[in-house]
Structure 1
Amino acid sequence: MSTAPASKARRSGTAFTVFLKEVRENLRDRRTLLSAFLTGPLLGPLLFVMLVNVQVNRELDKADRPLPVPVIGAQYAPNLVDALKEGGIVPGAPVADPGLAVRRQDADVVLRIAAGYGKAWRKGEPVQVEMFYDSSRQDTRSAVDRVQQLVETYARQQGAMRLVARGLSPGTAWPVQVARRDQATPQSRAVLMFAMLPYFFVITLFMGGMYLAIDLTAGERERQSLEPLFANPVARWKILVGKLAAICAFSLASLAITLLAFAVVGRFIPAEKLGMELDLGWHFAGIVLLLMLPLVMLLAALQTLVAAFAKSYREAQTYISLLMMVPLIPSALLAFLPIKAQAWMYAVPLLGQNLGIMQQLRGDGVSGEQLLLCLAGTLAAALVAAGVTAQLYRSEKLAISG
């Protein structure tokens, strides 16, 4: 009489048993541990913060240091050259070919003053100063803006003096003035620098469970250990649930380590030097973790589904590497095609997480409706993916290698 209840209890706990087995075995796998708990979660945030620090400090250093700029025809406009010197520009020796000097990166920017500058100036005619630069070079943008601003400031001052000399008000030349009212907050400006942070979190989830998903399906299929597992009198879906739970556990642990790392190293990002405010603390981490919960299940199901089609571990790596490109799409769309978020967008997996994290970075927060849509939409997609994977697990061909 006691045998049947005991057998029923063992079967009901099959999923948990599979979960514990897979977690224990993969905790001994060095490759899985490095991927889930070290390479992405810790190394990624450290490199991210180092790169941001180097970029910020380099830009600030450029802004403070004297800027050498080759000037062709400096003798024709001594007053302009003096104004540039006051602004921290160090006029350099003229170059024979200014365009070539910029393309070869011998100079960030080159100024050329025409020989007729003095004559046109004395007549009160417009004069031209040519500025050579390469807009494809990201590192020279601050230098170009600095030189352009100094030249334009000098031009406005001289234009105002000309009007005063003729008995006219300087305002005559500018009948309409634009009063700029920037509504960006210090925290919302941080989005400009950290727009790819949501993609970073998604990839951390992806990498955290990737090797486990491959090993638990394609790996076991290659080692021919799936067939004896499926031979047990246990429903296939329970085995799948145990494997998915193990993958989700590793992915969540990877994400938690990443969020903890960002909460710590985020304090060393000099955002205040750029007039920004960045909050990657515990509240931010909690919202990200909540937004990502259904995505953990979705990615685990998709990785398992893709790995189930592969006949070997290496083949599964290739397929899942291609799948890794999918999370990049929402981040790329929001970075290059800024759109106004609509309510339905939060129900789209990956896109909803991107929008929610970006709002949290801006300091706007995520509303209850947006959070519910994000969780419900991604959870529905995760259940569909898990259902398709469960159907695939019912196939006898899955257990056969080769």
Structure 2
Amino acid sequence: MMPQFLVVMIKELKEALRDKRTLNIMLMMVFMYPGLVGFMLHNQIEKATKTERTGIDIVMIGAAQAPNLVGYLRQKSVNITERDAMSEADIGKLLGEKKMAAVLKLGDKFGEYYGELRPAPMELWFDSAVEKQSQRRELEAMLRDYGNGIASARLLAHGVSPATLSPFALQRYDTADSLTRSNTRIGFFLGMFFVPVCIFGLAAAIDSTAGERERRSLEVLISQPMRAIDLVAGKWLAAAALAAIGLICELSVAHAVLKYLPLEEIGISWRVDLPTLALVIVAAMPLCLMVGALQVAMAMNSRTFKEAQATAGIVTFIPMLPVLIVPALELNTQNWMYAVPLLSNQTMFQALATGQSLGVLPYVLACALPLLLAAAAVAFAARRMGSEKYVLGV
């Protein structure tokens, strides 16, 4: 004979899956976060490769005074449009059209000063409100390198080695591989993948408790020869199952999106395999149980369906705070992070994705507090369910 709490669980799951609102919320969350992360990373890839494909568009005033500079910039994929003298208003109007990354203006005495080995006047005009700052910085780096090359040639012409101006020869070696760099840079996104866990089963949790209480169908259930704990456990496991199903689907979609994107273009990669992804999902099951229990307890502690909906935002928002704050503080990974619900899943996912081997302690910490909170919430909800005052709304 099937246990009573499983009968309740199956009944709640069938009702939830027949509810279009619940299905629409789940589908939206399954695709929204992976789609958002994919869109943001796609934009970064587009910006990183756009200059290489199309070059940097600039206007150069007085280009005839520096033919060598013009040739150097064009070799660096800089598209130069030569113009005669322009007023400040005309330059501002040109940059306001958002077609040019900058205007490079050579002074009237550029050639004279350059021939006299004096600093030649040069002006770089740009609009900081235009999304071409990366191209402008690349242009500045090109001008700086060109200037350093000229300075070195002048020193050699006077019998002075350019090495005199560089007392140190600093070489940089980054020992981090692309996998470590990638998951350090997208560590924040990894945590955001677990946020929808608080939403997947929320509608079912509220409808099966506060909703049934308002519809008076809860009285029929409580009149059956069934313990209050079995009734609460069935509703709790149904909400947790929806959260787990949604999380599995969402992480699978996110994995497919990150594997599809050419992340190598921005110096990162995504090499999380399916066994690692499965381990992350298993480690997140206590989180699903905790969220389902808290939502059921919260809804049962609300007098009306609308009150349960109003307080649902608190249950959804509070676990998000550590996920938002800790990455912003750039803290090193510590053991206490594995004890904080939701933050523990983010930290664990990031560690596993970077190839780190986790001991037993992180898994124990990640499971302990969620399971304790789930047990406490279920006990509270069972006590409420056993109260006639609650069921009858007295």
> TM-score over 0.5 for the alignment?
yes
Letter in 1 for 2:104: L
Structure 1, unmatched stretches of 5+, are 1-8
Candidates 279, 293, 296, aligned match of 1:304: 296
1:286 and 2:278 are equivalent in the alignment: yes
Paired residue secondary structure (2:98): coil
Q: 1:280 to 1:166 in 2, by over 3 A?
A: same
Q: If the length of structure 2 is used for normalisation, what is the TM-score? A: 0.86
Q: 1:131 to 1:391 in 2, by over 3 A?
A: farther
For residues 2-401 of structure 1, the aligned pairs below 5 Å read: 13-36=3-26, 38-42=27-31, 44-46=33-35, 48-49=37-38, 52-92=41-81, 93=83, 96-97=88-89, 98=91, 102=95, 105-127=98-120, 129-133=122-126, 139-191=131-183, 194-400=186-392
Q: Aligned partners of 2:233, 2:135: CA distance in 1, in Å?
A: 57
Structure 1 residue 212 displacement after superposition: 0.9
Q: Aligned partners of 1:95, 1:361: CA distance in 2, in Å?
A: 55
Q: Is the 8 A contact 1:15 1:238 kept in 2?
A: yes
Q: Aligned partners of 2:285, 2:87: CA distance in 1, in Å?
A: 60
Q: Aligned partners of 2:384, 2:102: CA distance in 1, in Å?
A: 61
Q: Is the 8 A contact 2:44 2:266 kept in 1?
A: no
Letter in 2 for 1:122: G
Structure 2, unmatched stretches of 5+, are none
Aligned residues: 390
| CA deviation profile, 1:276-333 (whole Å, cap 9, x unmatched) | 2202431231122122111111211222233234444344333223433334323322
Q: Is the 8 A contact 2:105 2:124 kept in 1?
A: yes
Q: Is the 8 A contact 1:72 1:95 kept in 2?
A: no
Q: Aligned partners of 1:331, 1:107: CA distance in 2, in Å?
A: 39
Structure 1 residue 135 displacement after superposition: 5.4
Q: Is the 8 A contact 2:187 2:346 kept in 1?
A: no
| CA deviation profile, 1:82-103 (whole Å, cap 9, x unmatched) | 3212211122345734566556
Q: Is the 8 A contact 1:190 1:361 kept in 2?
A: no
Letter in 2 for 1:166: H
| CA deviation profile, 1:93-152 (whole Å, cap 9, x unmatched) | 457345665566353333344445444433434456444445566x42431232122112
Structure 1 residue 396 displacement after superposition: 4.0
Q: Is the 8 A contact 2:48 2:265 kept in 1?
A: no
Q: Is the 8 A contact 2:37 2:189 kept in 1?
A: no
Q: 1:393 to 1:103 in 2, by over 3 A?
A: farther
Q: 1:76 to 1:265 in 2, by over 3 A?
A: same
